[in-house]
Structures are given as C-alpha cells and as structure tokens.
Amino acid sequence: MEGLMPLLGDKFPEMEVQTTHGKIQLPKAYKGKWFILFSHPADFTPVCTTEFVAFQKRYTKFKKLNCELMGLSIDQVFSHIKWTEWIKENLKIDIKFPIIADDTGKVAHTLGLIHPGKGTNTVRAIFVVDPKSVIRTILYYPQELGRNMDEILRIVKGLQVADKNRVAMPANWPKNEIVGDHVIVPPASDEKTKKARLQSARKGKISCFDWWLCHKKVKRA
C-alpha cells in the first residue's frame, strides 16, 4: 500500500527512478548484488553533506562486499548535481554513486519515507537489499541524527556471514563482550539436535555455555 514502508522479507518494490546517473530500474538494476538505498532530508544541508562524504569514503569497502549505494531525497536532479559539484569543489570528494531525484515524492511515499510529524522532507532511512531483491534491514533515523556508516557496513558483512554459514550475529559483532568475534549457532529446536549440539561441543567443533547458547568461529566477509 502506498505510503506504508515495506517490511523485512518483502521484495523491494519495482520502480523506475530518475537519478544523477540517468533512469534506473529498481531493483532490476542491482539483481545479483546487494544494494543500499538511503534517503536524506535535503541537499545543501550540513548533516546530509557529512553523510554523503562518509558514504563515499567507504564506497570501495561496500563494493568489495558486492554492495552498491544509492541516495534519495525529494530534491530535483539539478539540485543533486549542483550539490555534488559543491562537495567536489569544496570538500574534494567526488560522489560516485547515483542519487534519486524524487521531486514528485512518489518514491518517498511508496517506501514510507515521509513522516508528517517530522516535516515534509524525507526522514533518514536505510534499506539493505540482498541479491534476490529481498529487503533484509530497515533503519529509521530522525533528521537531526546523522548515521554511522561503519555500522551499515557491519550490517552488510554480518548478513553475508549469516547467509553463508547459517548462523546469527551476537551484539556488537565482531567484538562481542561474551564470545568475541565468534558467531552464534542457532539454538536446538528438538532433543535430537540438542544431543548432537552437546556432542559437537565435547569434540571441540563448537563452544557452548549451554545447549541453547553455542558459538563458533567462521571466516568473515
């Protein structure tokens, strides 16, 4: 339904968007890749400028994870172009990822990015979409709080490790207070699995505090 943000596990809505790199078909253009679509309140604003610089400085790291970036606001495309030109001229940073020009607000309403209680601009939102075009993470930030790009990188890395190894990530992974850089083995859901889990622990294949709290080391992305 238009105006409601899609949910985790949903397919990213199909749409054609006008960007600083021309028209792009989403999510088709990024099929087989991860991509992050992030909205910002407006061009030529201080916090948004710091965010775009931070994203660009990590763009190579995202690309190494087979992950692309795409910005969005309800500004017109010429505003995006002038703003990125200003960033390049004054901050010496060349923004190389596309920015959606959503001056009609259609994309923002489709994705649920307009919150009347926070004004008529888009809030700061993050969509992390996997290679099958499934939405895996959604984050909301108020306009007054800039995002932590290293956390967004961690999200992509963590999801990739989870998918590859069928595990879960502990708090603050890979620097968890209990298990360090290990990952969490999914809890046993029946007696047979419980016994097998404890046997694996005795053989040193995994480590367990108890049958329902086990962890192990895996290769990171």
What domains sit in the chain, N to C, each tagged with a CATH number? 15-147 (3.40.30.10), 166-221 (3.30.1020.10)
The single residue of 48, 67, 208, 214 carrying the catalytic annotation is: 48
* More confident call, 137 vs 5: 137
* Range of lowest pLDDT (66-75, 117-126, 200-209): 117-126
Q: Which residue has the tokens 């290990």?
A: 182
* More confident call, 113 vs 191: 191
| Cβ atoms 216, 208 nearer than 8 A | no
d(CA 168, CA 157): 12
For range 192-201, the mean pLDDT: 87
Examine the residue annotation and report whether 48 is marked as an active-site residue of this protein: yes
What helix, strand, coil percent values describe the chain, rounded to 5? 35, 25, 40
pLDDT for residue 211:
87
Q: What is the pTM of this model?
A: 0.91
